[in-house]
Structure 1
Amino acid sequence: MHQWKIITDSGADYKKLTSKQANVNFEAIPLMINIDNKIFMDDQAFDIEAFHAQIKANQGPMSTACPSPDHYAEAFQDCENVICFTLSKNISGSYNAACLAKDMVLEKNPSQNIHIFDTNTAGTEADLLVLKAMELAETGLDFDNLVSQMIDYHKHTSTNYILKNVDNLVRNGRLNKLLGQMIGLLNILLLGRRTLDGRLELVDKVRGEKRAIRSLIHAMKEQGYVGEKVLISHMLNLDYAKKIQASLIEEFQTQEIEILEMSGICAFYAEYQGIILGYEIK
């Protein structure tokens, strides 16, 4: 029986998953967030409320750091088949670190199988990819077939964001400063999506949560969504996540919806009350 390890950085929200099969294992490798010299590791012990309180009180510098190649290499070694998912290489150095680790490990063990997926995203779309890889590994597929099916599956997933605050995106050069000044004023919310090359793109600016949901549903339809699986993550905004869930059930009769607490790195950029939706499309 093939041995598998499904790995993700904390650009995905899952920190712990247990496979139905003993030969399939999961590991989440944390990024690090530095808020005025207080370090938050984005692991199972991450406390999102303490994190939010630290950000609110912060007057100093803030930064993030991806896992080191050595950290990835340690996770990769001693497993026959490794599938690793990382944040978009256009928003993080995590992909490059994982690729360096792959080279390091294969130099010592050339027979090992390792594939690094640039998810081109952050958040719950990456969670969908992790779940699919776990599912396929459990069926007994060989390495090449699993990678091929994952590449095809990734063509049928997408991401949307609803953001109330974008200060960190502006501060780190990932969003226009003038646009950033509008968001959060007069109850204006930003609806975004990820581009094919893994960047954040503006879809709409709306006033009020109800209009944001209507705009979200329209955007999902344009992407080809008709009722497949959805994962919703939130940054201390469970009530709104549930309203989105109810709206999707009403509009599409969606059966598979899971609500997750946002990972630390996603919460850093989505900020307070931010929402990320990952979903399958036709």
Structure 2
Amino acid sequence: MSVQIIADSACDLPDSLIHDYGIDRVSLTVHLDDKDYLDAKTIDSKEVYDAMRAGKAPKTSQVSPQAFKELFESYAKAGQPCVYLAFSSELSGTYQTAVMMKQEVEEEYPDLNLHIVDTHCASLGYGLVVLRAAQLAQENASLEDIMEMAAYHKDHMEHIFTVDDLEYLKRGGRVSKAAAFVGTMLKIKPLLHVEDGKLIPLEKIRGTKKVLSRMVEVMEERADDVSHQTIAISHGDDLERAEQLAALIQEAFQPKDILINPVGSSIGAHSGPGTIALFFLNAPYK
């Protein structure tokens, strides 16, 4: 029996890939206008960005314990081996909830064959880890090989991104270390990355055009074996700039493939419109 890959909606993979690779996706919750929505199911990220531009402040919450319990029970009853690759535990309580519900389900189904991995990744950086695991699962790779590959990819996944307004991240408590980046000068763009699952500032850059060029320079400094990689770019309702970055990367590196998709509702509610994020491996592709 092949291994079932489970992810949550913070992976930001397009629905087409979720479907093609048979990934089981559970949703974080988005709270907007006194209503609750399921990320990637009952709300579109464009709705969230438009609401933020209108001055609203959507909030999010982790995947519900009940959703995990029902999902894990269904696979326990089927005797299905599973790997749940989770959104970074430094950015959400979803991983911890999954671990708790696994333990609860195991009390009734001690043979549950479920492995939970904290990817320490977010958005399409997380999505690329999920995608590689799902590709292996579709090739009927062993559970051990999938776990080994997922560990390799999560440990070597770079996240380089910029936001239009750090206030969104500050509001959600996501960038406590980035407070020093908030200045009064116009057109200062923060460049951030993810370190041990946390959002950490790298530098500040003057000018929108310069920040894209600098992202490519950072990729050159950190990336390895790009010609064999699928790299990813996610954006906060700013496809034009995402495509500009993709064109710069294509010219510089000729990667195997470039995946572009919006930052989903659960992460976008914290990063805000105008976010541009770049994801790649800093080690040879496997």
| TM superposition score normalised by structure 1 | 0.89
1:67 Cα deviation after fit: 1.0
Instruction: Tell me the alpha carbon deviations over residues 221-248 of structure 1, each in whole angstroms, 9 at most, x when there is no partner.
Output: 3323442221111111000000000000
Distance 2:47 2:149 in 1: 40
1:178 Cα deviation after fit: 4.5
Who is 1:53 aligned against? 50
| Residues 29-178 of structure 1: pairs in structure 2 closer than 5 A | 29-58=26-55, 62-79=58-75, 80-176=80-176, 178=179
Contact 2:45/2:265 (<8 A) preserved: yes
SS of the equivalent of 2:101 reads helix
SS of the equivalent of 1:164 reads coil
SS of the equivalent of 2:249 reads helix
Distance 2:47 2:82 in 1: 34
Contact 2:48/2:268 (<8 A) preserved: no
1:166 Cα deviation after fit: 1.7
Distance 1:166 1:127 in 2: 23
Distance 1:7 1:43 in 2: 15
CA 1:156–1:174: 2 relative to 1, 3 Å: closer
1:216 Cα deviation after fit: 0.9
The letter of the residue matching 2:243 is K
Distance 2:183 2:232 in 1: 28
Task: Kindly indicate whether residue 3 of structure 2 is the aligned counterpart of residue 4 of structure 1.
Answer: yes
Distance 1:168 1:35 in 2: 15
Who is 2:210 aligned against? 211
Contact 2:37/2:43 (<8 A) preserved: yes
Distance 1:253 1:110 in 2: 48
SS of the equivalent of 1:186 reads coil
Contact 1:193/1:203 (<8 A) preserved: yes
1:215 Cα deviation after fit: 1.5
Q: Percent identity?
A: 24
Backbone CA RMSD of aligned residues? 2.1
CA 1:186–1:58: 2 relative to 1, 3 Å: closer
Contact 1:204/1:215 (<8 A) preserved: no
Q: Which has the higher helix share?
A: 2
Distance 2:55 2:238 in 1: 21
Moved more, 134-143 or 39-48: 39-48
| TM superposition score normalised by structure 2 | 0.88
| Residues 162-241 of structure 1: pairs in structure 2 closer than 5 A | 162-176=162-176, 178-179=179-180, 181-182=182-183, 186-195=186-195, 197-227=196-226, 228-241=229-242
1:212 Cα deviation after fit: 0.6
CA 1:149–1:62: 2 relative to 1, 3 Å: closer
Distance 2:55 2:244 in 1: 31
1:82 Cα deviation after fit: 1.2
Which ranges of structure 1 fall in alignment gaps of 5 or more residues? Answer: none
Contact 1:88/1:118 (<8 A) preserved: yes
Distance 2:50 2:153 in 1: 38
1:36 Cα deviation after fit: 4.8
Who is 1:27 aligned against? 24
Distance 1:121 1:148 in 2: 16
Instruction: Tell me the alpha carbon deviations over residues 68-104 of structure 1, each in whole angstroms, 9 at most, x when there is no partner.
Output: 2221121223331111122211111000011112112
SS of the equivalent of 2:186 reads helix
Moved more, 33-42 or 235-244: 33-42
Which ranges of structure 2 fall in alignment gaps of 5 or more residues? Answer: none
1:272 Cα deviation after fit: 0.8
The letter of the residue matching 2:107 is E
Who is 1:243 aligned against? 244
